Amino acid sequence: MHELQGYNVNHDETKMHELQGYNVNDDETKMHELHQTYGTLLSEEQNLKIRVTIHQILAVDLDQETFTMELDVCFRWKDPRLRNAKTRVWLPRESTLKGRQTCEGSTCYCRGGLRGQRCSKLPFVLGIFKEEKGKDYIKVEDKNGGYHDWQLLSSFIYKEEPNFSDLGQLFRGDRGGSSIVTFSKLMEEPTVLNDFQRLSNGETGETVLFRKLRADFKENMELEHFPFDRQLLQFTITASVPVSMLKLEVDEKVKSVCRVEDLPEYKVNEDENEAVGILKEKTIAPNVNNKQYSQVKVMVHLQRKPQKYMVNIVFMVYMLVFASCSSFVIPLEKTGDRIASIITFILTIMALKYVINDELPGKDYQTWLDYYLLISYVLLTLPALELLALQVLHVLWRSIDPDESLDVISAKHEGLDLAFAIVFFSFWNGSHLVLWLTYKFCPECFYHSWDKVRATQDHYPDQSVRAEETTRPRIAQVT
């Protein structure tokens, strides 16, 4: 039993079962078998509460369609083997907490990161430890076998924890067992920046596992309205055992939050995160084995800041087409000069397209910005088509009325050319004026609604992840 508990107890101390306070009964036989299979505690209708705090979104890559995130993931569950577990908590020397004890010589010491010797001569208190309302509490046993009231620990040096590796691990099972929960859309194993596990309530056996991770996730981004696009960065945490054995729940004790507000190209929509929440419970549809699996989806709502593309691409292309109107100033008699001017503008926009190509998403469909560049390219070729049409009309008019003077024909050509120039100039500037006014007074009109974004991105394979795929150890071996 001492291997299960992981405490260091000498022969001079009280009976081991009184010190440890673990209750193992016959009803836990089935639970023990599940523990051997999955490497962590499982009982019927066991609930695993999940909380996520997103600290940074380090990158959003359009080419690879990935995003890098730094986040905290906190798991909370109750382990019946740890009910009424007594814990030693070492106190500062000046502490006046009731029921405290001291060690004589070197017969008692604290374990773990403090390497034992630093706590050996400090006072400690032995009792049932509980965390409540952000504070640390201890319940101390009195001489009559009862309990004192909860006492506040304003500070302590070190709290002894059970040997959780003997109790089983949430992510990697003992003896090579599989993980009980897995992360989806991972590009590779995440980097664990920090993690710890603690017994947060010795009365109920409530255990908390905390992990700070940095991970790369794959996301099929919807860019139809680029650069006025909204993205739903999401991944899922899925149980690898049926929902009848383990149910994942959103932890309401401390609300999950996204602490990111602004990125270089995106703005986090805090209102939508607050309204919808960044965590959502769901159940995967039955697979070929007719079993359902519990899942929690993590979602962050991002909206692109279009200013970069509006200034560096849209405005530059607008000015280029606007400047091309100067071609109409060249007289029709100087056809060669006008054609040279038109070709110069066409080559310029082609070169610009190659320069900005790396900044555009590589989708197999056309985005709004792609359509804008295509329309601009077509408009720059229209003056050349106009010259061709005028030349055809010149031939037709000469064949219909050979006696008509060249001055009259030239006057007709100049009139048509002027009308075309006015229509061209008015269309280009008028359309941009309408777009600018729309963006000024209704910027949301350029974006998909969030309901449509969620419906579109939920259509992708994330929703149909099969449980047999999520049980692969490579995904969740974050230790």
Give the model confidence (pLDDT) of 144-176 as tens digits. 666 677 777 777 888 888 888 777 777 764 445
Q: Using CA atoms, how far apart are residues 203 and 80, in angstroms rounded to an integer?
A: 10
Confidence at 465, pLDDT banded by 50, 70, 90: very low
- Is it true that the peptide bond before 227 is cis, omega within 30 degrees of 0? yes
Confidence at 117, pLDDT banded by 50, 70, 90: low
Confidence at 40, pLDDT banded by 50, 70, 90: low
Confidence at 306, pLDDT banded by 50, 70, 90: very high
Give the model's pLDDT for residue 144: 67
> Closest Cα partner for 183 from 461, 475, 468?
475
Examine the pLDDT at 209 and tell me if it is beyond 60: yes
8 Å CB contact between 248 and 75: no
pLDDT, average across residues 16-36: 40
pLDDT, average across residues 3-20: 34
Please state the separation of Cα 403 from the chain's center in Å: 77
Examine the pLDDT at 16 and tell me if it is beyond 60: no
Confidence at 406, pLDDT banded by 50, 70, 90: low
Give the model's pLDDT for residue 213: 95
Give the model's pLDDT for residue 267: 93
Instruction: Quickly count: other Cβ atoms within 10 Å of residue 75's Cβ.
Output: 21
Give the model confidence (pLDDT) of 319-328 as tens digits. 999 999 999 9
Give the model's pLDDT for residue 473: 34
Give the model confidence (pLDDT) of 52-75 as tens digits. 999 999 999 988 899 999 999 999
Q: What angle do CA 401, 406, 408 make, to 5 degrees?
A: 80
Q: Using CA atoms, how far apart are residues 321 and 372, in angstroms rounded to an integer?
A: 12
Give the model's pLDDT for residue 305: 93
Residue ranges and CATH numbers for the domains of the chain are 43-82+168-305+454-476 (2.70.170.10), 307-445 (1.20.58.390)
Question: What's the sign of the alpha-carbon dihedral 386, 388, 392, 394?
Answer: positive
Confidence at 311, pLDDT banded by 50, 70, 90: very high
Confidence at 5, pLDDT banded by 50, 70, 90: very low
Helices 315-324 and 335-356, packing angle to 10 deg: 170
Give the model's pLDDT for residue 145: 64
Give the model confidence (pLDDT) of 67-106 as tens digits. 999 999 999 998 888 888 888 888 888 777 777 887 765 5
HEC readout, the chain: CHHHHCCCCCCCCCCHHHHHCCCCCHHHHHHHHHHHHHCCCCCCCEEEEEEEEEEEEEEEECCCCEEEEEEEEEEEEECHHHCCCEEEEECCCCCCCCCEECCCCCCCCCCHHHCCHHHCCCCEEEEEEEEECCEEEEEEECCCCCECCCEECCCCCEECCCCHHHHCCCCCCHHHCCCCEEECCECCCCEEEEEEEEEEECCCCEEEEEEEEEEEEECCCCCCCCCCCEEEEEEEEEECCCCCCEEEEECCCCCCEECCCECCCEEECHHHHHHHCCEEEEEECCCCCCCCEEEEEEEEEEEECCHHHHHHHHHHHHHHHHHHHHHHHCCCCCHHHHHHHHHHHHHHHHHHHHHHHHHCCCCCCCCHHHHHHHHHHHHHHHHHHHHHHHHHHHHHHHHHCCCCCHHHHHHHHHHHHHHHHHHHHHHHHHHHHHHHHHHHHCHHHHCCCHHHHHHHHCCCHHHHCCHHHHCCHHHHCCC
Give the model's pLDDT for residue 87: 84
Give the model's pLDDT for residue 142: 65
Give the model's pLDDT for residue 84: 87
Give the model confidence (pLDDT) of 247-299 as tens digits. 999 998 888 999 999 998 999 999 999 888 899 998 887 666 778 889 999 99
Please indicate whether residue 403 or residue 273 has the higher confidence score (pLDDT).
Answer: 273
Portion of the chain with pLDDT greater than 70, in percent: 77
- CA Rg value for the chain: 35
Give the model's pLDDT for residue 437: 95
Give the model's pLDDT for residue 463: 36
Give the model's pLDDT for residue 115: 54
8 Å CB contact between 411 and 418: no
Give the model confidence (pLDDT) of 429-443 as tens digits. 999 999 999 999 998
Give the model's pLDDT for residue 410: 74
End-to-end CA distance of the chain: 26
User: Which neighbouring-strand residues pair with 60?
Assistant: 67
> Mean of the per-residue pLDDT values for the chain?
79
13-22, 78-87, 108-117: segment of lowest average pLDDT: 13-22
Portion of the chain with pLDDT greater than 90, in percent: 37
Query: Which residue bears the tokens 């440890």?
Result: 20
Phi and psi, residue 68, nearest 5°:
-110, 130
Give the model's pLDDT for residue 457: 78
Give the model confidence (pLDDT) of 345-402 as tens digits. 999 999 998 899 888 888 888 999 999 999 999 999 999 999 888 888 877 776 776 6
> For residue 277, with 0-12 CB atoms within 10 Å meaning exposed, 13-18 middle and 19 or more buried, which class applies?
middle
Sorted by sequence, the CB contacts under 8 Å of residue 158 that are 6+ apart come out as: 89, 90, 110, 112, 114, 118, 119
